[in-house]
Structure 1
Amino acid sequence: MHFVRIILTQLDGNRRFLVYNSLMKSITTWDYSLDSETRRLLHTAHLIAIGFYRVNQFLVLPYSYKAHDASIVTFPDLPYLTIHNFWKEVQHITVGQFPLHIKESLLQSTKTLVENAHIQKPQSDTIQKIWQRAEPAILDGIYSLVPNKKGTIQKIIIHPTSFGSTCSFNIITHNINYIELYLQEGLGVATITEALISSLTREDVFEKLGGLWQESELLADWLVTQSSLAQIVKHYDNTNTFSPTIKGIRNKEQPQLTLDSEQFYKKLGIPTGTPPFSLTSDTPTLYAHPIQNLTDTETRILNLFIQKALVLSKRSSYACKHVCYFYCYHMLFRHPQFLIYCSNFNR
């Protein structure tokens, strides 16, 4: 006998039944370990160190700060400077896909810090049970929006975590058919769904549409909250913890939290005044690495933005300076050499 679960929902203005076999095998596995949490920390540290969070207006705060806000990245306050050149080392981590490829000495040293900190294991029993019920409906809803992707996701690996951004994930490509993601404690089906959509569509947004990171995020935010998929998400997620990424980083003026974040950067040992971009003999550099394969026009424009940002840095014009850095990053994001790299800036 086949047991079925019938969900009545509203899709594109027409009532229809979504029928799922309750015995359908889940493609999701959940994994938490000291190793996964250490890798999560190093991934977050990498994005802090290269300036991605700062340029895109995320606030980095101690992980004791509990708020399900897409604009806030929480991070453990550990003695990172006891690891030789920690902040320089994490800049060089390759963030192509999960699991990250990390130098073994850095991984083990950081793992010792995490272990000694006795970071509490995130609670995920509830969301695991909810996601087990929701998974077939969510995947069906996603594939109904992008039918050419149907069946693309062969495996989902979810690592519950106590810190970082709300969710980070790898990108589905022509030769990658799994999604591995980190889910912050307390978040639900909507956040997982947003990650799946972002992963599934980001390569197309970048390579076929010439889009940027923020445009990819905005697409996913809209699909989760405004499309036919939103009704399915609401059926399983009534926690009100989902925070659309772009709305979160653009709409909030939080002067005290901004100040707290700047102080936290200093405490972590990251000089807040260190510019990510600079010029060496008229050659643009990103963290002292020459930026190559640009056209003459691209080089001139990039140099102008860098020069303007450096001038504004001396004047302590925080907002204008970061607008310049924002455009520097996004110039690179449009360059073919950087498309794959920037596609993995996954918060």
Structure 2
Amino acid sequence: MSDQGFSLLTSIGPDTSPRKHLEMIQQEIKKYKATCEQLENDQTELKVARDNLLEITKEFKMRSATVQQRRQEEEQLKASQVNLHKERLVSVQAEHAELCRESEALQNELDRMEEENQELRLQTQVSTAVPEKKMVFTGVTAVEGCSSSFDVKPRILYPIEGGTALITFEEEDVAQKVLEIKFHKIKLGECYITVEARPVQLLVPSDIEVETHVCDKRILISDLPKIGMEDQLLDKLEIYFQKKRNGGGDVDMTEMLPDSGNVVVTFVEDTIAKGLTSKEYHDIKMFDKTYRVKVTPFLNGEIKHLKARTSVSKKTVQLVGIPDILDEENLQDNLEIHFQKPSSGGGEVDAFVYIPLGKKAVGIFEEDTSSE
């Protein structure tokens, strides 16, 4: 299509015939008609192109809106996930802090248990059945009101009422014979009395549980030599354990345990005993000679469980129903003489005690070692 304007009027020369001029006009019309058709075609193509562009624009806008919506959804999802992760992070941090506290508490508990375990290693837990012991009255009495006690060496206190006696025979068979006769008629001068023989029933431990703990201020010294007087031995030990070069310190008291012959040393401070017991044996110079003694922790005990049973003394018999008709000494002599006679069903008497009416006493029963 030409950029120049057009006109049906053309310049005609003077020599141009009308016919020729008409033909030229027809050619021009034909030419411009073709140009017009070309313009219409171009316009149609432009319209199609415009419609295509509008369709593409519409589709692009729709796709852009979809992408925008998807992007917003993704951003919302991302924000939601970020918030969720933040919440999880806060929860994890709180859980971590709680676990740290629990770990610290467990570590403290573990340290406490370890300390307790170390302490328990020094302690002795005693739980054992007490073996059968033969008990016999030795003729020794104690002041009324003393409570019963039980230790490694059995010692049972038995109350004796007034008007009764305890008699211990050397042989079990004699005691059983006296019990079988039961009622015994005894001559006292010009008259007779009748006494009843009864078995002596003792309440003895059958099972005992003792909880012990180490005393921080005391030590137990054993394997001591049998030399010198007790006071001298205690003085020598006190002098040795007061010296810091020996691991000792200020001594509060030293005492001898009469039942075992061991010595207990009590210190003023509670840090001395542990150091001394870490070294089990100590060489102590006493009376121009060096002796090796054993130093161990001193245990304080508390009975946690005690089960008792009834046991009958095999050699001891209780006589009841004794009237107060003679003085105490004469009556005891007559009773003892009567039960020493085989003709009266008696035998050799190992111990005898008579408690007159109006008085009371406590008989001490210990383990019978005569048959061992």
Q: Normalising by structure 2, report the TM-score.
A: 0.22
Q: Normalising by structure 1, report the TM-score.
A: 0.23
| Higher strand content, 1 or 2 | 2
| Higher helix content, 1 or 2 | 1
Higher relative contact order (CA 8 A, sep 6+): 2
